[in-house]
Structure 1
Amino acid sequence: MTKYTIWDPFVRIFHWSLVAGFAANALFTDDESKLHENIGYVLVALIAARLVWGMVGPHYAKFASFWPTSKTITAQVSDMATGRKRLHLGHTPLGALMIFNLLVAVLLIGLTGWMMTTNAYWGVDWVEETHEALVTWAEISIVLHILAVIWESRRTGVNLPRAMITGVKNVPDGARTDP
């Protein structure tokens, strides 16, 4: 195995803090509590910090290092369909799409949650319905993300959850990698 240090501490802390905060709000807090609202604000602040880090952080944290294109997405889907095991040291193109999906979804959940606290939108049905639909979308996306991580870990032989905890990807020797 070849070890690559990929995920810096900020990216890992951001990831697991987002997981904990979203899980707390979706599963444990009362939707109308101040705690629910405050966790929502913390999640939006985390994403704002991640957006900045995505521009100024180390190589693998930068969005430019994993920006998905139709060419890279097609190549990954082709690899999966044909059984090729090209490994991505950073995020895969499909993983990048999921990241952007989740970042936007949580930001919109935060926006609609905030709107529900304002005089202008308090009690407005479409705002609450949009908020709830976005939460459902995020929950579905999270389940798909977890399943994809498990599947991709088995397919490539790289323990992706461990890498997001330790910051180090252990890649099988001789594996074809894309930076």
Structure 2
Amino acid sequence: MPGPSAGVSVRLWDAPVRLVHWALVALILFSWWSSEDHLNWHRWSGYAILGLLLFRLWWGFAGGGAARFASFVKGPGATLAYLKTLGRREASVTPGHNPLGALSVVAILAVLFAQVATGLFTVDIDAFEGGPLSDRVSFETGRAIAEIHELIFRILQALVALHLAAIAYYLVWKKTNLVRPMITGRRWLPSDPGLSKAPWWSLVLGAVLAGAAAWFVSKGLRL
């Protein structure tokens, strides 16, 4: 495994990225568990997920270093070039997400946004429970959106399974532990890539804006 002789220990993932990542993991599992018999908790879990997603979107532009979308979202050329290296057994030294991993991250975030958005309009089969915007649509439309909401979750499950398979592949084949840096924030790299840091006020502003937006949505877009 990489160590001091292999390079330098770099602060890769900042605390906001790691907190959002693991909070989403916990809340997705909680939402899954609460989707049948605890709909009130399910709704609040969805609002929390929305707040985290909005903050991650903000942090992808206003955050620092590896958190920025610009640092890992690449074009088709870079992605195809990276695909050619997958069969090699040497450890991955890409700081942050590699071009293929970036597609996985963007896809999961997009599907989560779609999952939350449809949940806002869903209505249960007895019309007793619904999302905060369910009064904006008919019962039939709300039920149709509920079906889409469930389908999107199946897509999310598939993406998470692929994500976990990729983590296992990198651990076994490329001898690269992708989980530890998401816990500690640090990773050994051949050299320091010089990742920038975001100012503290950007973190505070993003958290306030994301929290306020999620609260506003939870109130049915009513003050």
- Could you tell me whether the CA contact under 8 Å between 2:34 and 2:42 is conserved in 1? yes
TM-score, structure 2 normalization = 0.72
Percent identity of the aligned residues? 27
Tell me the CA shift for residue 157 of structure 1: 2.2
Partner of 2:160: 142
Which of 130, 134, 159 is matched with 2:148 structurally? Answer: 130
**Aligned-partner Cα distance in 2 for 1:14–1:59:** 16
Deviates more, 1:145-154 or 1:44-53: 145-154
- Could you tell me whether the CA contact under 8 Å between 1:115 and 1:122 is conserved in 2? no
**Aligned-partner Cα distance in 1 for 2:95–2:23:** 23
Q: Report the CA distance shift for 1:146/1:121 in structure 2 as closer, same or farther (over 3 A).
A: farther
Q: Report the CA distance shift for 1:20/1:131 in structure 2 as closer, same or farther (over 3 A).
A: same
**Aligned-partner Cα distance in 2 for 1:16–1:123:** 36
Partner of 1:153: 171
2:72 paired with 1:66: yes
The gaps in structure 2 that reach 5 residues or longer are 123-130, 196-223
Letter in 2 for 1:159: N
Partner of 1:168: 186
Tell me the CA shift for residue 170 of structure 1: 2.7
Larger Rg, first or second structure (1 or 2): 2
Map 1:1-179 onto structure 2 (within 5 A).
Answer: 1=3, 2=7, 3-26=9-32, 28-31=33-36, 33-81=39-87, 83=89, 85-116=91-122, 117=131, 118-119=134-135, 120-124=137-141, 125-171=143-189
Q: Report the CA distance shift for 1:5/1:155 in structure 2 as closer, same or farther (over 3 A).
A: farther
- Could you tell me whether the CA contact under 8 Å between 1:106 and 1:138 is conserved in 2? yes
TM-score, structure 1 normalization = 0.89
Tell me the CA shift for residue 158 of structure 1: 2.2
- Runs of 4+ in structure 1 deviating by more than 4 angstroms, as ranges, are 82-86
User: SS where residue 41 of structure 1 aligns?
Assistant: helix
- Could you tell me whether the CA contact under 8 Å between 2:61 and 2:68 is conserved in 1? yes
Which string of whole-angstrom CA distances, capped at 9 and with x for unpartnered residues, describes residues 40-74 of structure 1? Answer: 11101101000101111111100000012111111
Which string of whole-angstrom CA distances, capped at 9 and with x for unpartnered residues, describes residues 84-125 of structure 1? Answer: 655211101111101111111111110110011212154533
Deviates more, 1:74-83 or 1:36-45: 74-83
The gaps in structure 1 that reach 5 residues or longer are none
Higher helix share: 1
